[in-house]
Chain A
Amino acid sequence: MVGREGALEILGQALSCLAQAGADAGEVVLLSERDGLTRFANSQIHQSSDVEDVRLQLKAVVDAKEGWATANGVNGEAMARAARAACDIARVQPEGDSGVEPAEPQAYEDAETFDEPTAAAGPEARADAVARAVVRADRHRLIASGALRTRAMEVSYANSNGAMAYARWTGASFKAVVLTDLGPDAGSGYAEAGACRIGDIDVESLGEEAVALCLGTRGPDDLEPGEYVVVLKHAAVATAVELLAMMGASGQEYVEGRSYASGRLGQRITSELVTIADDWHAPGMFALPFDFQGMPRQAVRLIDRGVAAGVLHDRASAALAGARSTGHGLSGGMARGGHPFHLTMAPGDSSVEEMVSSVKRGVLVTRFNYANPVHPVKTVFTGMTKDGTFLIENGELVRPLRNLRFTDSLLDGVFAKVSRLSRDVQMFPDELGPGMCSAPAILTRLNFTGSSV
């Protein structure tokens, strides 16, 4: 970790390197991370790592053309080499493109979600926590696996117009998957949580939850394919929200007609009970008040009470759409268009238990596995249920089911048919990046098209 003063000093040096390399203007992003992860499987720790990295991303503007270069050394030589590369790339672009100039200085909210105990958590603390979860599986002769991760991150931004920003935050996540065995009809349970502070992760409770779920899933039964009433627990809903965002939250895809929202803003696209947003102010989210283009990060409602309400813009897609950047830009020459880090789905006034009790015949789904888009504009997706799928009859969980394959539309199916939402939300870490997603459980319908064997 380099700290605010150290980061701003490095950014200043990098901007000087860009100027010396011939850039008319420039912007620089510094990413610093300390990542500690302890994985366990077969009820023992099998992989554990501590990694430190610093990455510097430079953008050069030469004759209204831009070029990017990235380095993970912050010494003068590495910076100068990256600055020259960025300028060389900019010079060979075919023609100038308006809008590549760095942003003017902006006002950012002063907010920080950095927790010293999380940043300081080392392998010993992680191992102790894992031990407390594993012992719960050991008591029932079950197989525990999962991971405990702690991260401390810094992002800082500066450009040649004088804009400067710095943020640091911490994140912690714990996941437990408990199995009866590794065979075809193994019982399996799962629990997961993400938070900004490791103190907010209750490893023991999560371990107990996964164990209890596993014990109830032994001897699963088959289910005929077809559309069923389903109670989707929080983790499954979080996956659905993330997939929907993947299929069209980007302002660039919206402009190009490749988003579910293209031509539909202002129209009803889901049940009026559905509100989905990207909002770093939401409870439990990490604070990142600006994006990687130096723009203030705003809360954006993607779906507001069932109506397509907005998309996420970076500066380039905003220019194309005749809109303002919403502060969701990435950097480093990555694909254009806004990207969500703080997805939320608004809760309702029910609970998983109440939803289950209201179902005459249906399915309870704990979470989805390997779910992917099939057709983005139609928001068709497919995947499998995992770690706790149950048949509901007359308001009771009557028996566990084998994992089921579903193929359905998120907008025309899952989110159109929502009739209840839980009053509580749970927070999940994005497995691919720093993002988080908070989601309630929902009562809806889902089209099952197959099952595991």
Chain B
Amino acid sequence: MVLKRLEMALDRARRAGASYADARAVFTESDSLTMKNGQVESAAASESQGMGVRALVNGCWGYAATSSLSDEDVTRAAERAVAVAAASAKVAKRRAVLAPLEAVVARWESQCEIDPWSVPRAHKVDLLREACARVRSGGNDVRVALAYMKALRERKLFASTEGARIEQIITMTSAGVRAVAVGDGEVQQRSYPGTFDGNVRQAGYEWVEELDIAGNARRAGQEAQALLAAEQCPEAVTTLVLGTNQLALQIHESCGHPVELDRVLGTEASFAGTSFLTPEKIGSFQYGSPLVNLYADSTLPGGLGTFGYDDEGVPACQSDLVRGGVFVGYLMSRETASELGTESNAAMRASGWNRMPIIRMTNICLAPGCGKLDDLIRDVDDGVFMDGIRSWSIDDRRLNFQFGCEIGYRIRGGRLGEIIKNPTYTGITPEFWRSCDGIAGPEEWVLWGVPNCGKGEPLQVMHVGHGCSPARFRNVRVGVGRW
């Protein structure tokens, strides 16, 4: 029935003058629970539904969306999308051309063993309350103990005037804890397993069970407590070893965003920014050391950037971004790929029915090297280890970055030493990645979900994934600012 309405919208758009149109209906439901110090902080169920029509008229795009799926409103959305596109054509200098695509009729569903909605809420409340208690037990100054979980399911139907008819169902689940310790003029936090919603996967409730947040909660509290009394991160140029939670964000900001071809071509210049990875650099620019291999993979099971087809109907795929340290590829849409004379690698995604798809990260991963984290640390006489995301900033061309982490340790004589607080580091993207001289092996590789990637206007908050093993970087400036 919904598919019929999408087809009705496409027919209306075509008759109104669209040379191409696609329509997308999205139904999402979520269930979230956050407990603070054993009390419910927030508990909410949410539903959202709607559809959007994207129309191409005279080589210009228009988009219109409505939360109503009535015949009348769907038809009106199609007409508005065409009208918006026609208005856009008044300020056009070049016409959009779409790279070729074979339209498919398909269905895809993410893995989900235990339906999160089948687990009684009372069970979830008990788990989070237990986790809160264990966080608090980590130290007397742990003022705030947070425990949270969330399930989100998205059902999406896509149809295009080229004949695509695609249904996809994606289930995502997350859980985590956070300890906040408050001292004299000092606040420190520690999260498990990571900072953004703990960790988020395309999975069912089995992912919550695997995370064992209660079993790891006390350590988060202990580390937050220990950070209150820790020494300040030293100001130095030194060797930096990054844990996977922070390295995932480093990949996100300094590789994932600059390889978005819309940024490169200037279409995000007024908001997200542009990119230093301009097209003439493909195949020749030394982005990182020869150890560095980065790739986009929207087929990765469990990844937050995984799907069967993107929001243009392009099938999921894996493609190299940096091979042997050399920059080799972009994230692309059908339109931007055609500008480079190639085909899309399935990176067009919209955060919901009320947003037009734009180029987004999928799962941007760093290929593992060899050995363990201990092996990386063993080769460091004097350095710093950092992990846990706390602060981030990077310039609009994705070169000058600065990150702050939740926790740091001095490395002395090849071993982890004392804990340090407020660790920060800064650098320039290619200089940083060229200084990478060690990446741990597959046994240390962790897949992180980043549920809060912001881009586009109106802002679109997207779910993306990053996989990596810990890595080592030489001559990095740490301890930035005055404390």
Contacts and interface: CB of A to CB of B under 8 A. Distances in A.
Interface stretch (A109-117, A333-341, A345-353, A416-424): A333-341
A405 B88 contact: no
A92 B125 contact: yes
Contact of A370 (B66, B84, B356, B394): B394
Nearest to B64: A50
Interface residues of A, number: 99
Given A94-B129, A124-B87, A257 B143 contact: yes
Contact of B121 (A89, A256, A382, A383): A89
Interface stretch (B264-272, B408-416, B439-447): B264-272
In this complex, the interface size class of chain B, counting residues with CB under 8 Å from chain A, is: 35 or more
Contacts of A86: 45
Contacts of B392: 372
Interface string A427-439: 0000110000000
Given A41-B270, A370-B395, A450 B38 contact: no
6 contacts: A50-B64, A122-B83, A147-B271, A147-B457, A386-B396, A450-B480
Interface string B248-278: 0000000000000000111111110110101
A51 B393 contact: no
A319 interface: no
Nearest to B461: A432
Contacts of B47: 69-73, 78, 81-82
B1 interface: no
A130 B91 contact: yes
B386 to A, nearest CB: 13
A336 B41 CA distance: 7
A218 to B, nearest CB: 16
A363 interface: no
Interface in B75-94: 80, 83-85, 87-88, 90-94
A379 to B, nearest CB: 11
A21 B287 CA distance: 59
B84 A50 contact: yes
Given A51-B354, A94-B129, A256-B180, A70 B457 contact: no
A35 interface: yes
B40 to A, nearest CB: 5
> Is the contact region of chain A dominated by helix, strand, or loop, or is it mixed?
strand
B46 interface: yes
A124 B91 CA distance: 10
Interface stretch (B203-211, B360-368, B420-428): B420-428
A130 B267 CA distance: 15
Given A42-B265, A47-B63, A51-B354, A374 B404 contact: yes
Interface string A50-76: 111111000000000111111111000
> Is the contact region of chain B dominated by helix, strand, or loop, or is it mixed?
mixed
A134 B395 contact: no
Nearest first, the 4 A-B pairs at minimum CB distance are A333-B44, A407-B481, A123-B87, A68-B44
Contact of B481 (A46, A183, A370, A382): A382
Contacts of B46: 69-71, 332
Contacts of A52: 65-68
A111 B189 CA distance: 42
Nearest to A210: B270
A170 interface: no
A85 interface: yes
Interface in A149-199: 149, 175-177, 179, 182-184
B403 to A, nearest CB: 9
B39 A143 contact: no
Contacts of A375: 187, 391, 404, 422, 483
B182 A123 contact: no
A47 B266 contact: no
Given A37-B457, A42-B267, A69 B395 contact: no
Nearest to B44: A333
A405 B400 contact: yes
Interface in B174-205: 180, 182, 185-187
Given A69-B46, A145-B266, A452-B397, A378 B41 contact: no
Contact of B42 (A40, A54, A149, A333): A333
Contact of A256 (B91, B144, B265, B458): B144
A71 B459 CA distance: 20
A168 to B, nearest CB: 18
B400 A453 contact: yes
B47, B66, B144, B271 interface centre (most CB from chain A within 10 Å): B47
Nearest to A181: B266
Contacts of A126: 87
B221 to A, nearest CB: 15
B45 A82 contact: yes
A86 B144 CA distance: 26
A148 B458 CA distance: 11
B356 A47 contact: yes
